[in-house]
Structure 1
């Protein structure tokens, strides 16, 4: 596994239950500001049974960036943790954003 992925996973592992953050914030905290899209690519390659809380990462507007079944899966996982998700897949970042 490459160093970039290791650092991304380390940041995501720290996101507490019931909180969310953005791809850009993860990249910045990992030491790679401006690499939000790369964070998304790394997460898209995770196996379905991963224990990493990938679902706590959203786009900068607090929107789930996935579509179809993946959007539903991410929304359900967030709701299980008490995060309110609108029908369109949006989360109120000002309420649920993780502030490390």
Structure 2
């Protein structure tokens, strides 16, 4: 498992949403990603801009307007899930140090 892939996805919430959506739904039209990322409003610019890099990293495959999950996409998703489950929730009000 390439940790750079997980870090790349983890660093951006939109990439995480794209990856999770494709993993859940399998073969997905890129136009459906826009709906998934933006809820009711559709703006293809947001997910479309993330797809080429996810493809370059081998996380997704793309063919004629459709994206498919790869084996790495499932590994990265599992890694993200495991990171999220082990990160403790931050305290609501952290003590502030006085200088």
**Which TM bucket (shorter chain)?**
0.3 to 0.5
Q: Higher Cα Rg: structure 1 or 2?
A: 2
TM-score, normalised with respect to structure 2: 0.41
TM-score, normalised with respect to structure 1: 0.40
The structure whose residues are more often strand, as a share, is 2
The structure whose residues are more often helix, as a share, is 2
